[in-house]
Amino acid sequence: MIRPTVAADHDALIALATATGLFEPDQTQLLADMMQSPGEEDVWFTDDDGTAPVGVAYLAPEKMTHGTWNLYWIAVHPDQQKQGRGKAILSHVEQWLMDQGERILLVETAGTQDFDYVRKFYADNGFEQEARIRDFYDSEVDKIIFRKSMTPKAS
């Protein structure tokens, strides 16, 4: 069940972030801080399997734009991956944005080999690579930005 995140989810979601192995300890602490004190426009969704949170998405509007949002974090616990949960969370986010009348969803990821599967996930779900910023995160660690329109295509 995908639902809005509540304070009782925080510890399980930080454990989930740690379990993915994709975040450095300082990044995990930053996520914890953001959950504890979300911005007024931040949106968090949790995928709960009935016993515990197993997935999460965090998004927020891009400042100084009209209808452009950033998906800052989407993750599924490694024990629950490859079961369609990531796709379900992403679909939930997209539907929520469309219901709100928003226009664009952006997502960024690293351009390193260990993030190949992440980039493939976005491409497989209709996102197009929009930009690459070289050496963004660190030397030789590019930032890849994906984009997807939330506006239904005219038929």
Q: What is the CATH number of the domain that holds 87?
A: 3.40.630.30
Contact 105, 72 (CB under 8 A): no
Q: Is residue 155 part of a domain?
A: no
Secondary structure of residue 141 in the 3-state scheme: strand
What integer is the mean pLDDT of 108-129?
95
Q: Look up residue 61 and give its two tokens.
A: 């509007």
Kindly compute the dihedral angle of the four CA atoms of residues 17, 63, 143, 58, in this order, to the nearest 10 degrees. Answer: 20
pLDDT score of 153 more than 70: no
Domain-embedded: residue 35: yes
pLDDT at 147 over 90: yes
At 35 the pLDDT is 81
Supply the pLDDT for residue 111. Answer: 96
- By C-alpha distance, which of 114, 102, 115 is closest to 145? 115
Task: Tell me, yes or no, whether 126 lies in a domain.
Answer: yes
Cα four-point dihedral sign 90, 96, 53, 58: positive
For residues 30 and 72, the answer to whether their CB atoms sit within 8 Å is no
User: What residue numbers bound the domain in which 27 lies?
Assistant: 2-149
Nearest 5 degrees, angle CA 35-CA 38-CA 39? 155
Q: Which amino acid is at 14?
A: I
Task: Please state the domain count of the chain.
Answer: 1
Find out whether 149 and 104 touch, Cβ atoms under 8 Å. yes
Cβ atoms 44, 16 nearer than 8 A: no
Q: What is the DSSP letter of 23?
A: S
> Which pTM value belongs to this model?
0.90
pLDDT-based confidence at residue 108 (cuts at 50, 70, 90): very high
Cβ pair 121, 129 in contact under 8 A? no
Classify residue 154: in a domain, yes or no.
no
